[in-house]
Amino acid sequence: MSYNYELLIIGAGSGGLAAAKRAAAYDINVAVVEKESLGGTCVNRGCIPKKLMVYAADFALQDQLATSYGWSECQRQINWSQFLSKVHHHIDKLNQSYLQTLEEAGIDLIRGQAKFVDAHTITVSDRQITANKIIIAVGGHPIVPNIPGKEHGITSREMFHLQDLPKRLAIIGGGYIGVEFASMMDALGSEVTLMDVEESILPGFDQDIRLSVQRGLSQRGIRILTQTTAKEITKGSDGIQLSLSGDYQETLNADTVLIATSRAPNTKDLGLENTEVNVSEKGVIEVDEYSRTTQDTIFAIGDCTNRIPLTPVAIAEGQAVVDTAIGNQPQSVNYDNVPSAVFTRPEAATVGMTQSKAQEKFGESVRCYRTEFKPMLYSLSEQDEKVMIKLIAEGENQRIVGAQMVGEHAADIIQTLAVAIRQGVNKQQLNETICIHPTIGEEVLTLE
């Protein structure tokens, strides 16, 4: 049978674009369908603009520290509209770069919403398109819980389009998205209240990371309400009012309410019922180790599956799927020891197992090496800043199976350590490594 394309990719986010570029190298007809801006969540309303906001906030934190080093005090204020204008201009340039890359590779870009007719056919508007194989890379979107008055809140998608920097910001949800925005907006000058139904923020992370980040945010002036959520949101004479339930049963006033509770796959309007692809009640696509769905000509990658929702993971999946489906070189992604970071201040990063997971798997053979100290950057300051580093080892040779860090340069240090952990490094090998002094990283190599 003749098809319009050998490979069709639905979604031009990080995973979809990676798959398209890899497929172009096989000299086949490739098309990408996208209804929004190229780059997906990461580029347009996630990783990239969020990290730029982190950098903007860091200037405020550096001003606070500068007087400890003899610099005179200054009262700088951010021009919010100018900052966001620069962010969007940068994103526009990235979008154009992606478009140019697709054009140079001979990849067709089809604008609009894709909907399956059958396993080899989709429609986009009034156009019908066929493909031998299809990759679903549609990503996810924020879920807004059914709170009365939820229409008065916004999601992370709208945070980069606020006309004014809110004086008072309430955040519902203590996962990494809510926590990162709490950190940034506090440094930029907002009065921030963060709430979560858990006993501490960042559920799913190692307990030491959760407690260390929570303490650091609290010291910076962020009000953190645990085991608490909003039961109703209303508009009043003093902005937006949140009626809280849980440990803190009170009324909270805010100018902006960010709802950052959870995310779900963008699979609702894909017409997957017209295929044999298995989809859960929550819209998650079932895949095997090669990202193949229950319809053998259709694959799925990234946040619409039930694996690790991180940009580098989606990229690796996209490349592996193309090698499997087009190159006939079956490739699967190794999900062990995938590093991740929370770009708060203090910054947090992790790779491998948490302490509880290691103890659950290896029992009494687990040993933890942990330190907490004041970093040199703050040695001339009265600020009570701390760095926390923890290595988790198991077995007789003390193989490192996990690493956790909170503090300056955490993401870069853990990223580098991830290579060693993937190669099976043990504690003795770390001890024998000569370190650079004075650095925070040397503490990883000298833990006792």
Distance CA 329, CA 177 (A): 37
Amino acid at 45: R
Candidate list 90, 120, 409, 437, residue with the active-site label: 437
Q: Give how far the C-alpha of residue 2 lies from the chain's centroid of Cα atoms, to the nearest Å.
A: 40
Q: How many other C-beta atoms are found inside a 10 Å radius of the C-beta of residue 183? A: 27
Classify the phi-psi angles of 76: left when phi > 0, otherwise alpha if psi is within -120 to 50, otherwise beta.
Answer: beta
Q: How far is CA 198 from CA 214, 226, 347, in A?
A: 12, 6, 20
Evaluate whether 219 touches 384 at the Cβ level (below 8 Å): yes
Active site residue 409: no
In sequence order, what are the residues at sequence separation of 6 or more whose Cβ sits closer than 8 angstroms to the Cβ of residue 432?
none
28, 13 contact by CB (below 8 A): no
* Cβ atoms of residues 316 and 359 within 8 Å: no
Backbone angles phi, psi at 133, to 5 degrees: -135, 150
Q: Whole-angstrom Cα distance, residue 9 to residue 138? A: 9
Scanning the structure block, which residue is given the tokens 């609702």? Answer: 268
Which of the residues are catalytic?
437
